[in-house]
């Protein structure tokens, strides 16, 4: 049976089974509902297709579980003792998994990664630290020598072992500012023994190896926050990197995959265009061949062949996601085309595949579907559902996101998303939800717990991809540089006014809300348009730009000062003008301010200075501090507290 027919029949059966009473019962406590952790997630299949792995949350820690694919019987689980938990993981052979070991401190909710890699077999055997600062303290069985301890962060490069059971990792020495140049290591997946494949010539480098397992292309940042690209000869066994001339590539160069012939590399780049597309670059002469560049947005992601040596499709997010298949040369491309037909209008991604390409794990999601995992059998052309990412939301009618665009105050075209409350009231209450960043990120058409909680609470939700946002080309992003308190806020305000003019919100019944830069915008926009916003919710924000240039983890990074100079500038008068902490006398909106005391991105001092300024000006606000949080809220308990406070605050401020 065609996949699309199979899916439609299954969906009809599912829809018929939903009972409206379920939705009403589930939605009774919206903050708890949308803060609830997933039951099981992050499925991946073993190279031979005989087993599956997935993550679960056990006693507030992420653990790993293994299943027999044929029977879906759980075979084993891997739970870490103490504060440890499972981070990013990969199958490295048919029986073994290696994962990043993260830690959750008793005094801090957000998990941290300290560079350690841990290995374990399906049966729980041969388990132990393979890499990291504590690796020398442990052994795995009597046949293994103690490993070498390294004070470095490990990142996966290539998890397909060579003939000697070694995978490639990037090892970055632990330094205060991150300036140290990484080293590429071949790591034995059992013993943890490493062999150097050379040091990278640039910090923060993204490296792609050739089919022979040797690093071939690397791109990274220098201390001036500029991209540098280096190439190494295919047969080189030394560390003779050759720098690629900067004038031959754009601002967003990043390697994707070295082709199987080791003569070219697929790359992201905005060469000769504002928008980032996919190109193929000849490694012998640097000649670029454009694969695809979209006229409106950056390419979001690529779909690669099983061997990761070629690209056959891409995704762009111009409003809703759309896919472009670049070639019919590969059988995988035909399968992916059928999957897109089976799940029309949804995001489709392949999380893993078997070595022979016969079994795939497919994740399907949308604005009203947090995600569903399927096992695809290529030989039988069949799909089997594995699990829903957030099964507790099954039966709840979620709100659809609709893309829109409008002309800002100066005529500049801006895009965004509008999510309407399922039950519309005559009062048209609205929440303007501002994304963080502000650069390199954007709002997308996808499931969003905050958006859904707000919409199901009765509020229309507006999201604006203002100037400075990523995803719409370098020109759109750089238009927001040194305009944090100016043109960016102009776009957010204009978007709010557009929604009111379109009848999607009622004047005087609008709140603005956001985290990080979104919190900054909450207060700044409310000072620039004091009669537009009735209230504001500011979470983990920066409120004093001169303070930001000298405190927190950004200026401490070796390229951080150059970055801040680029995006903020050095005009002290403007920096103060663009700092909400100095503008609170203009505020009419009541604020709900929430912050974590352990925040290093936006240090707690920002919130304290805003509180002091509000007190001095006699402005009303509510105040909530988390002593165990960093930059945002992690964990089900604190997420529930956060969403509950938002819900209660909005209910008092806006008319439903």
Domain residue ranges in the chain: 1-35+330-395, 401-653
Verify cis geometry, omega within 30 degrees of 0, for the bond prior to 438.
Answer: yes
Q: What is the CATH number of domain 401-653?
A: 3.40.50.1820
pLDDT, position 139? 47
Q: Of 366-370, 490-494, 557-561, 591-595, where does mean pLDDT reach its minimum?
A: 557-561
Output the CA torsion 595→486→576→223 (10° steps): 80
**pLDDT above 50 for 30:** yes
Residue 1 has pLDDT above 80, yes or no: no
> Cα 565 to chain center, whole Å?
25
The yes-or-no verdict on residue 112 having pLDDT over 90 is no
The pair of three-digit structure tokens given for residue 41, joined into one six-digit string: 């997630």
**Residue 529 scores a pLDDT above 90:** yes
Count of beta carbons in the 10 Å neighbourhood of residue 530: 14
- Least reliable range by pLDDT among 44-58, 207-221, 362-376: 207-221
Q: What are phi and psi of 158, to 5 degrees?
A: -140, 115
Q: What is the pLDDT of residues 324-383, one digit of tens each?
A: 999 888 888 988 999 999 999 999 999 999 999 899 999 999 999 999 999 999 988 899
Backbone angle region of 279, left / alpha / beta, with phi > 0 → left and psi within -120 to 50 → alpha: beta
Mapping DSSP onto H, E and C, the string for 557-583 reads CCCHHHHHHHHHCCCHHHHHHCCHHHC
What integer pLDDT is reported at residue 228 of this predicted model?
A: 92
Look up the pTM and report it.
0.91
pLDDT band at 237 (very low <50, low <70, confident <90, very high): low
What's residue 179's pLDDT?
65
Q: Give the three-state DSSP class for 492.
A: helix
Q: What is the DSSP letter of 223?
A: T
What is the average pLDDT value for the chain, to the nearest integer? 90
CB-based contacts of 83, cutoff 8 Å, min separation 6: 103, 104, 105, 106
Residue burial 255-273, b: 16+ Cβ < 10 Å; e: rest: bbbbbeebebbbbbbbbeb
Asked whether the predicted pLDDT for residue 9 surpasses 50, the reply is: no
Once rounded to an integer, what is the mean pLDDT over residues 88-97?
97
């Amino acid at each position: 049976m065609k996949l699309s027919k199979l899916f439609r029949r299954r969906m009809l059966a599912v829809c018929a089974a939903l009972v409206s009473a379920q939705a009403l019962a589930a939605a009774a406590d919206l903050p708890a509902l949308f803060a609830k952790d997933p039951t099981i997630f992050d499925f991946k299949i073993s190279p031979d297709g005989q087993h599956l792995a997935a993550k679960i949350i056990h006693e507030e820690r992420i653990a790993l579980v293994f299943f027999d694919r044929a029977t879906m019987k759980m075979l084993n689980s891997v739970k870490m003792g103490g504060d440890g938990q499972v981070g990013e993981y990969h199958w490295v052979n048919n029986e073994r998994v290696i994962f990043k070991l993260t830690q959750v401190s008793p005094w801090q909710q957000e998990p941290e990664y300290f560079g350690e890699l841990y290995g374990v077999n399906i049966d729980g055997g041969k388990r132990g630290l393979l890499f990291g600062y504590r690796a020398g303290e442990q052994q795995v069985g009597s046949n293994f020598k103690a490993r070498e301890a390294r004070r470095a962060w490990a990142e996966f490069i290539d998890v397909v072992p060579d003939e000697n059971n070694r995978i490639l990792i990037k090892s970055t020495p632990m330094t205060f500012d991150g300036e140290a140049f990484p080293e590429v290591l071949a790591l034995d997946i059992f013993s943890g023994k490493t062999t150097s494949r050379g040091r990278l010539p640039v910090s923060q480098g993204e490296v792609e190896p050739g089919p022979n397992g040797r690093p071939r292309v690397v791109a990274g940042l220098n201390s001036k926050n500029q991209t540098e690209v280096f190439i190494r000869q295919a047969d080189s066994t030394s560390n003779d990197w050759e720098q690629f001339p900067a004038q031959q590539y754009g601002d967003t160069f990043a390697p994707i995959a070295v082709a199987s012939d080791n003569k070219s590399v697929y790359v992201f780049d905005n060469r000769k265009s504002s928008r980032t597309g996919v190109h193929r670059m000849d490694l012998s002469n640097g000649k670029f061949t454009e694969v695809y560049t979209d006229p409106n947005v950056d390419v979001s992601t690529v779909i690669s062949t099983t061997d990761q040596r070629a690209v056959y499709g891409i995704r762009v997010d111009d409003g809703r996601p759309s896919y472009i298949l670049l070639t019919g040369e590969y059988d995988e491309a035909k399968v992916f085309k059928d999957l897109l037909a089976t799940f029309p209008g949804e995001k489709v991604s392949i999380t893993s595949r078997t070595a022979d390409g016969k079994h795939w794990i497919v994740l399907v999601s949308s604005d009203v579907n947090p995600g569903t995992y399927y096992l695809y059998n290529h030989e039988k052309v069949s799909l089997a559902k594995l699990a829903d990412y957030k099964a507790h939301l099954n039966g709840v009618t979620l709100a659809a996101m609709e893309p829109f665009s409008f002309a800002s105050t100066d005529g500049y075209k801006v895009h965004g998303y509008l999510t309407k409350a399922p039950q519309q009231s005559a009062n048209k209450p609205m929440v303007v939800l501002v994304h963080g960043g502000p650069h390199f990120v954007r709002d997308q058409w996808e499931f969003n717990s905050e958006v859904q909680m707000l919409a199901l609470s009765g509020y229309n939700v507006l999201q604006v991809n203002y100037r400075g946002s990523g995803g719409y080309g370098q020109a759109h992003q750089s238009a927001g540089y040194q305009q944090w308190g100016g043109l960016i806020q102009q776009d957010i305000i204009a978007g709010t006014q557009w929604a009111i003019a379109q009848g999607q919100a009622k004047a005087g019944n609008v709140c603005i809300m956001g985290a990080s830069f979104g919190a900054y915008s909450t207060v700044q926009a409310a000072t620039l348009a004091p009669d537009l916003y009735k209230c504001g919710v500011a979470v983990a924000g920066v409120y004093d730009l001169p303070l930001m240039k000298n405190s927190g983890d950004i200026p401490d990074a070796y390229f951080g000062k150059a970055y801040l100079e680029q995006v903020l500038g050095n005009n002290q008068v403007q920096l103060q003008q663009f700092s909400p902490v100095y503008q609170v006398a203009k505020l009419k909106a009541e604020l709900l301010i929430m912050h974590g005391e352990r925040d290093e991105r936006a240090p707690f001092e920002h919130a304290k200075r805003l509180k002091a300024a509000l007190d001095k000006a006699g402005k009303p606000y509510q105040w909530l501090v988390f002593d165990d949080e960093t930059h945002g809220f992690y964990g089900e308990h604190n997420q529930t507290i956060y969403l509950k406070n938002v819900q209660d605050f909005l209910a008092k401020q806006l008319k439903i």
